[in-house]
Chain A
Amino acid sequence: MNTAPSFAIGEVESLVLKAYRGAGFSWGMAQEAGKAAAWLTAKRLPALDAFAALLNQIADLTHEQLSPNIKSSSWPERWVGSSTLLCPVVCGAFLSDLGPAVVEKESTVTLTSVASPLILLPFVATLGVPLTLRMTNAEVSVDGDVIAPFPVYETVAGKLDVVLQLAVQRAASIGDKTEQAGRGSDISLMRGTGNVASIKLLQALAHQTYVPATQESRESGAGAGLSDND
Chain B
Amino acid sequence: MDTHNPQATVEQSAVVPLRPPHQVMRLSRLGSFHQTRLSFMRVLLRRLINEQWRFKRSQWQVDRQGVGHAVYTAIGPGHSYSLIAFAHDLDPSLRSDRVIAEAWDATFTLFDGVPTSADIERLKANVPLQEAGRISETELSLSRANRSVRLFNYVRKTLAAGLQPEQAQLDAIGYLMRTTAVYGSGKFGAVDRKFVASRAELSAPFQAELLAVFMIRQFSIDIVEHLAFSDNPETAVPLAPSLARGLGIGNSTGLGMAPFLVNHPTLLNNWILARETALARVRSVAAAEKSKVALFRHFLSRQMISVADWKTEHEYQQQKVLGLRDDLHRLSKKIDEIADSSESYLWNRVYNWAERTLTEEGQECVVTLLLEIYPELTDELADTLSIDEDARFKIDGTCTVEQVLALIEKHYAFALANDYSADAQQALFWYASEEKLEPRLGRRFDESGADREHPLAIARDVAALANALTSIDATVTLAEFLLLAPEHRHVVRRILQIQSHPYAEIADNLIADGMLPIDLLRCKLAFFGAVKFDPRSDRWLRITLFQHAPLVADLDEHRNRPFAVSEGVIPGSIDSWVYPPDQHAV
Interface residues of A (CB under 8 A from B): 5-11, 14, 25-29, 31-32, 35, 38, 63-64, 67-68, 70, 90, 93-94, 96-99, 101, 126, 187-188, 190-191, 207-214, 216-218, 221-224, 226, 228-230
Q: What's the least CB distance linking B33 to chain A, in Å?
A: 20
- Residue in contact with B98 in the complex, picked from A31, A209, A223, CB distance below 8 Å: A223
How many A-B residue contacts, CB cutoff 8 Å? Answer: 175
CB closest residue in chain A, given B487:
A26
User: Are A191 and B137 within 8 A (Cβ)?
Assistant: yes
Residues of chain A contacted by B398 (CB below 8 angstroms): 97-99, 101
User: Whole-angstrom distance between the alpha carbons of A7 and B489 in the complex?
Assistant: 27
Q: Does B134 contact A (CB under 8 A)?
A: yes
Query: Judging by beta carbons under 8 Å apart, are A28 and B431 in contact?
Result: no
Give CA–CA (A11, B437) in the complex, Å.
14
- 19 additional A-B pairs beyond A67-B484, A210-B434, beta carbons within 8 Å, are A10-B187, A11-B186, A26-B486, A26-B487, A28-B488, A31-B490, A35-B393, A67-B483, A68-B483, A70-B483, A96-B395, A97-B395, A187-B195, A190-B195, A212-B433, A217-B440, A222-B539, A223-B97, A226-B97
Given contacts A8-B190, A10-B185, A10-B192, contact A221 B486 (CB under 8 A): no
- B537 near A7 with CB under 8 A, answer no
A190 contacts which chain B residues (CB < 8 A)? 192, 195
Pairwise interchain contact A228-B95, C-beta atoms closer than 8 A: yes
Separation of A217 and B149 alpha carbons in the complex (Å): 28
**Neighbouring B residues of A5 by C-beta, 8 Å:** 134, 189
Can you list 24 contacts pairing A with B, beta carbon distance less than 8 Å? A8-B192, A10-B192, A14-B186, A28-B486, A31-B493, A68-B483, A93-B482, A97-B395, A97-B398, A97-B479, A98-B397, A98-B398, A190-B195, A207-B434, A208-B452, A209-B452, A211-B440, A214-B448, A217-B440, A217-B449, A221-B254, A222-B537, A223-B537, A229-B92
Residue of B nearest to A18 (CB): B432
Measured CB to CB, the nearest residue on chain B to A221 is B440
B540 at the interface (CB under 8 A from A): yes
Pick from A7, A96, A218: contact of B189, CB below 8 A: A7
Q: Which residues of B contact A (CB under 8 A)?
A: 92, 95-100, 134, 136-137, 146, 148-150, 185-187, 189-196, 252, 254-256, 390, 393-398, 431-435, 437-438, 440, 442, 446-449, 452, 454-455, 477-480, 482-484, 486-493, 536-537, 539-540
Cα–Cα distance between A90 and B482 once the two chains are bound (Å): 10
Instruction: From A11, A94, A222, name the one whose CB has the most chain B CB atoms within 10 angstroms.
Output: A222
Are A211 and B452 in touch, CB under 8 angstroms?
yes
Q: What's the minimum C-beta distance from B206 to chain A, rounded to whole angstroms?
A: 15
Task: Report the nearest A residue to B399, measured CB to CB.
Answer: A97
> Distance (Å) between the CB of B457 and the closest chain A CB?
11
B486–A9 CB distance below 8 A: no
Contacts known (A28-B488, A217-B442); A228 close to B97, Cβ less than 8 A:
yes
Q: Which residues of A contact B149 (CB under 8 A)?
A: 229-230
Specify which chain A residues have a CB less than 8 angstroms from the CB of B190 in the assembled complex. Answer: 8
CB distance from A194 to the nearest CB of B (A): 15
A26 and B137 contact, Cβ closer than 8 Å, known pairs A223-B97, A229-B92: no
Cα of A188 to Cα of B480 in the assembled complex, Å: 40
Residue of B255, B448, B483 with most partner-chain A CB within 10 A: B483
The complex places the Cα of A226 from the Cα of B539 at a distance, in Å, of: 13
Instruction: State how many angstroms separate the Cβ of A82 from the closest Cβ of chain B.
Output: 13
Contact of A187 among B97, B137, B489, B491 (CB under 8 A): B137
Q: Is the CB of B134 within 8 A of A211?
A: no
B residues less than 8 Å from A35 (CB atoms): 390, 393
Given A213-B435, A223-B98, A226-B536, residue A28 in contact with residue B492 (CB < 8 A): yes
Residues of A within 8 A of B95 (CB): 228-229
The answer, among B148, B480, B488, for a CB contact under 8 Å with A230, is B148
A211 touches B186 (CB 8 A): no
Closest 6 CB pairs of A and B: A28-B489, A97-B397, A10-B186, A222-B254, A211-B449, A8-B186
* Distance of B179 from chain A, by nearest CB (Å): 12
Q: In chain A, what residue has the closest Cβ to B436?
A: A213
Residues on B with beta carbons closer than 8 Å to the beta carbon of A191: 137
